[in-house]
Amino acid sequence: MKTALVIRHIAFEDLGSFAEPLAEAGYRIHYVEAGMQNIPAEAAEADLLIVLGGPIGVYQTEDYPFLAQEAALLRARLGRDAPTLGVCLGCQLMAAALGARVYPGGAGKEIGFAPITLTEAGRDSALAALVEPEADVLHWHGDTFDLPEQAALLASSALYPHQAFAMGRRGLALQFHPEAEKDSLERWFIGHTAELSSAGVSIAGLRAAAATKAPGLQERSRRFIARWLAEIAK
């Protein structure tokens, strides 16, 4: 059985809607809790590495030294085109690992359901399954990044032009959260209450948007990740 090693930074930001398609594709899922567990040596050779999100910044390595270890792992895997997926913080870590700048976004925090627009390369990628029949995804970030050299830009949003990129055939970075499921989002509302309050985001409004947007996103997300897993297996 193939192994998907998943680095998780905060307990409630897990694989969500990605979990079932991963199991159906023959992956055994193994979580590593960032800051609590050392990254195992076998991470470098895992069939798939997924680095999830979290409420910290790539540049906070003095406070969170494990971030430098994650970046080094990502740099090594991306250098040999090993299957690698980064979500939100994971996306930013991939950008940093490739030498790009990660920094607080000038347009402020992007939190809530809003559309992404795919580039031509994005329309030719597995992300096409994520925006059909609608393009709304869950955004939840304050930082952004410069596009790494040799990376292919796949998606943009109204606030931030760099929302997804591909590196090689098997490296994929997503600034947004396609994996978040409706039934688990209440944990996000509780766990991120300080961030939501400081950003002036209405939890009631976000909950209402999730009720209408999250179920469709969940189904599209499953189709997207299944297609991507099939593509990287070729």
SS3 208: helix
Domains of the chain with CATH codes: 2-232 (3.40.50.880)
pTM of this structure: 0.98
SS (H, E, C) 125-176: CHHHHHCCCCCEEEEEECEEECCCCCCEEEEECCCCCCCEEEECCCEEEECC
What's the pLDDT score for residue 234?
87
Mean pLDDT per segment of 10 residues, for the chain of length 234 residues?
97 98 98 97 97 98 98 98 98 98 97 98 98 96 98 98 98 98 96 97 98 97 98 94
SS3 190: helix
Return the structure tokens found at 175: 């600034």
